[in-house]
Chains A and B, each alone.
Chain A
Amino acid sequence: MKKTAVDELLLVNTTVNGRAYSFAIEPRISLADTLRYELGLTGTKVGCEHGVCGACTVLVDGEPMRSCLMLGVQAEGRTIQTVEGLASGLKLHPLQESFKRHHALQCGFCSAGMLATALALLRDNPTPTRTEVREIISGNLCRCTGYETIVDAICDTQVAEFMRGEQRG
């Protein structure tokens, strides 16, 4: 059993976007701030810091979680995917392409979290109904789009085709 002193730094080993990181942080720093400021991955946005808006949603071991409601030290041993890890090389992920095609973003502040939530859904179910999509993304607030085009982008047939190939067992 280990116990830190207050403000003592703790060593964390974690994998983010396929890359291994090792760093020391105060336990009180949220995973969101850890990603943004410790690792420089500022694509993860922080909109409310109390778990409601969903902007900070990232994939932890493949599942969407609020990075503002996790500690950075809880990334220990986990595999994390952020918005920066979505495109491969210089090619956008089909879901990103679909968001662009359907005008599923305006200011873009909710997009990283929206993509994370949608991606996890599509990995389980490449062809969700519009109602299912609305339910799943209802924990991600968007103030710009009115959501309809986000639903369009997630239900896109090209996305479905790609995700069928990626589907997890």
Chain B
Amino acid sequence: MVNNVDKHEVVAITKAAIGQSIARKEDATILTGRSQYIADIRLPGMLHAAFLRAPFAHARILNIDLSAAKDLPGVELIWTGADAARYTAGITASLQVDNYCATTQPAMASDEVRYVGETIAVVVATSRRVAEDALELIDIDYDELPTVNSIAQAVTAENLANNEVANNVIYRDVRSADDVDPTFASAEKVVSGVFYNNRVSASPIETRGCVARHEWTNGLLTLWSATQMPGYLRTILAMCLQIPEHTIEVITPQVGGGFGQKAHVHPEELIVCLLARELGMPVSWIEDRQENLLAGTHAKHQINDMALAFSADGKMLAMKNHASTDAGAYNCLPWTASVEGKVGTSAMTGVYKIPLAHLESVELATSKCPIGAYRGVGWTAGQIARESLIDQAARELNLSPFAIRRTNVIQTSDFPYASASKIVIREGSFLETIDRLESMVDYPSFKARQTEARAQGRYLGLGISVFNEITGFGTRAFSQIGTPITSHDTATVRVDPTGTVTVTTSFVAAGQGHSTTFAQVAADALGVPVDKVVVRAGSTANTYGLGTFASRAAVIGTGSIARAAEMVRVKIRQIAGHMLEVSPLDIVLENDRVHVSGVPDRGMSMAEVAGAIYFAESTHPENFDPTLEATATYDPGDAILANGGHAAIVEVDADTGIVKIEKFFAVEDCGQMINPMIVEGQIRGGIAQAIGSSLLEELIHDENSQLMTTTFMDYLLPSACDVPEIEIAHLCTPSALVPGGIKGMGESGMISAPAAVIGAVNDALACREIFLTEYPLSPQRIFAALNSVNE
């Protein structure tokens, strides 16, 4: 019987559909071009918005001349920041911890711009092309101000990126304060490095966008937004725009990829709602690619100054790390600038038994687009630093990269293990991961090939990276990483009168296949076939939730669906027991039937039971509540930890600096998989992004924080020729904390695979005494390293 109080409850679930690679229910609609994405929405009378964006990274706005633009035929309305400020103060973002520096980003800048791409004015016109024509006619005088272009410049505090942020310090955190200095002083081996991670963009192929409609007669505001968090967005719209929350509906249509970039509240969303209300007409804003690269949130820009102390036999003794985040001019909402360094520090010791750690992080304001969430938030940069140094130590101690990791990894017998970075690790298959990777790679034969290649003047390298990750982020997990957020996500499960099942979830999808995986979960929870379940998501008219991010959906979606389904099951078993004259506890639901346990013939179809409940009161026991739908929340009782590892084999062309990835291996343990095909899709996709971020992708700013990479000609996403075939192995250690033993997954590729790529390049070049710590590993960087060594 489900406990209505315990939101952490783990409901038992029998697995039939769960674990099957069922083809996705959503695919036929997408593949025929019939899915509706945000840019496909056309409403009667709809107008089109285009934003004027700051051409300077820091400047005072002296004067704005709109006259020529206003005269352009087809222009309906032009607003500047001052117009927007009449209705909203903008987006205030902070973290509820001591000494966190909140920032308020105006919905559009009015006096001062603080990054290139910040919105200054918006034109609403009969078409996007006319709106863009009008943007060219707006004349603005600026007084340029000094910019803060880097972490190094931010630290000096000579100039301020945002006058709300004293000394440019948004937040400074000491996560672990062990006294490590004596250990470092006496350690037999110390390795260290300063690792410069690149600023990247999540770059979903669909840019951001939203469409707002306001109906003055009843005050209803509808916002269609390509967002990962419609429920949260609705609440924030209510707060920031002073519009009663119940009059707002946020609808997420089909979303063309999110990866975290669409898990924010964006200033443009506020403006578009206000414009629709002001004009009494629907307004659409579809971001173009240049805007997305300029002003969609940026990500991953950290410097990690790390040292590791080892014993002579390769045992880790202590870690020191200082993470600095190039955070941009404002905190993003809701994650704030802490999404990089502070969050990253929580995972810094990873899967290793490192007795002592001193871990600090600082988030620094710079004259750039705010840093935000992108797959594997915060963890990528630290993982690169740690795994690179482990490899370096292995080389110097003459140990294999597998052996040194095996020596140090947390083992099952250590659980629960309280890590030096203050995560309690209760589950994981770290040793098995390393063993499996080693056999997949066939290490001895790789070593032989590497030696042979070197004799021919070729450079082969192997990189490995082992990780664990907190998934299914609920309240307890947020608390463990030091970001106090209470999560609240519900699901509604209804058994319809004809015995089919309608599930409503707050977890919207951006390609993850929830319509299929949640149907698998609900099908097993109620003992019906998958094709008798429909999953509805995408509107705040239904259930409430925080959003789809941080590998939450599989865990919390499953938990909430299982809990709601259990409430419905109780009713079904109750009436079936009454009708069959047995105890409800003897009733089972399976194969679309409700029958006496062990006696399949003694029962009836789900449709018959449902029909009785809805339409035949005479079948009901006394005092029977015939509600066949239930809404439940679920919040995991602890951090749910998935784990795995990656290995990459690369060849570096030392003459040109071009890296060719020959082979890629992934081991993933996400417990019980709901749909292995979808799990593997997430692994491959994450690794592709990892190859992009470690070899190709870089948002480059000049010395005035002007972004130089504003098109896909310069911001280089990996193509089909850049991503190799990926060999995947699954370890399936179920979690005791989630119904069905399911763990979250999806981010591992971007957490851990970059470290494997980088490790492989460094391994290839180690014979030339090269250890690269600035990323991505572009041909230019590799070439420069090889040539400075030469000379």
Contact = CB atoms under 8 A, between A and B. Distances in A.
Interface of A: 28-29, 36-37, 41-50, 52-53, 55, 82-84, 86-87, 92, 96, 99-101, 103, 105-112, 115, 133-135, 137-151
Interface stretch (B51-59, B189-197, B507-515): B507-515
17 contacts: A42-B40, A44-B33, A47-B206, A47-B207, A84-B32, A84-B34, A92-B31, A103-B24, A103-B678, A105-B31, A109-B206, A135-B721, A141-B205, A141-B712, A143-B204, A148-B723, A149-B684
Contacts of B713: 50, 52
The 8 closest A-B pairs by CB, nearest first: A43-B33, A109-B256, A146-B684, A107-B511, A106-B511, A108-B30, A52-B712, A146-B688
Which of A36, A48, A53, A135 neighbours the largest number of chain B CB atoms within 10 Å of its CB? A48
A82 B206 CA distance: 18
Interface in B656-685: 677-678, 680-681, 683-685
B719 A144 contact: no
A103 B288 CA distance: 28
A138 B719 contact: yes
Nearest to A47: B205
A59 to B, nearest CB: 13
Interface of B: 23-24, 26-28, 30-37, 39-40, 42, 129, 203-207, 254-257, 259, 288-289, 510-513, 677-678, 680-681, 683-689, 711-713, 717, 719-721, 723, 725-726
Given A92-B31, A151-B720, A144 B511 contact: yes
Given A53-B712, A138-B719, A149-B681, A144 B257 contact: yes
Nearest to A135: B721
B110 to A, nearest CB: 29
A45 B256 contact: yes
Contacts of B711: 48, 50, 52
Nearest to A141: B717
A108 B256 contact: yes
Contacts of A135: 720-721
A148 B42 CA distance: 35
Given A109-B256, A148-B684, A96 B719 contact: no
A28 B129 contact: yes
B346 to A, nearest CB: 27
A48 B257 contact: no
B31 A111 contact: yes
A45 B720 contact: no
B31 A139 contact: no
B205 A53 contact: yes
A49 to B, nearest CB: 6
B514 to A, nearest CB: 11
Contacts, number: 168
A48 B201 CA distance: 14
A143 B37 contact: no
Which of B31, B511, B717 neighbours the largest number of chain A CB atoms within 10 Å of its CB? B31
A109 B711 CA distance: 18
A109 B723 contact: no
Contacts of B684: 145-149
A140 to B, nearest CB: 8
B32 A43 contact: yes
B31 A107 contact: no
A146 B646 CA distance: 15
B205 A55 contact: yes
A134 B717 contact: no
Contact of B34 (A43, A49, A147): A43
B206 A99 contact: no
Contacts of B683: 146
Nearest to A41: B33
A103 to B, nearest CB: 5
A49 B129 CA distance: 13
Given A43-B32, A92-B31, A109-B204, A138 B720 contact: yes
Contacts of B712: 48, 50, 52-53, 141
A26 B152 CA distance: 51
Contacts of B32: 43, 83-84, 86-87, 92, 96
Given A47-B289, A139-B719, A146-B726, A107 B24 contact: no
Which of A46, A108, A109 neighbours the largest number of chain B CB atoms within 10 Å of its CB? A108
A107 B726 contact: no
Contacts of B206: 45, 47, 107, 109
Nearest to B26: A108
Contacts of B678: 103
A44 B39 CA distance: 11
Which of A36, A109, A133, A146 neighbours the largest number of chain B CB atoms within 10 Å of its CB? A146
A107 B204 contact: yes
Contacts of B688: 142-143, 145-147
Contacts of B512: 106
Contact of A143 (B28, B31, B33, B205): B205
Contacts of B24: 100, 103
A133 B726 CA distance: 16
A91 to B, nearest CB: 10
Given A146-B684, A147-B720, A108 B35 contact: yes
Given A52-B713, A83-B33, A103-B677, A92 B28 contact: yes
Nearest to B39: A46
B42 A37 contact: yes
Contacts of A55: 205
A112 B256 contact: no
A110 B205 contact: yes
A138 B721 CA distance: 6
Nearest to B33: A43
A69 B183 CA distance: 62
Contacts of A141: 205, 712, 717, 719
A82 B683 CA distance: 30
Given A140-B720, A151-B720, 19 more contacts: A45-B37, A47-B205, A49-B289, A50-B711, A92-B32, A96-B31, A100-B24, A103-B681, A105-B30, A107-B256, A107-B257, A108-B35, A108-B511, A137-B720, A143-B688, A146-B685, A147-B684, A147-B723, A149-B681
Contacts of A146: 681, 683-688, 723, 726
Given A106-B511, A106-B685, A107-B256, A143 B30 contact: no
A99 B717 CA distance: 22
A100 B31 CA distance: 8
Contact of A42 (B33, B259, B685): B33
Contact of A106 (B42, B289, B513): B513
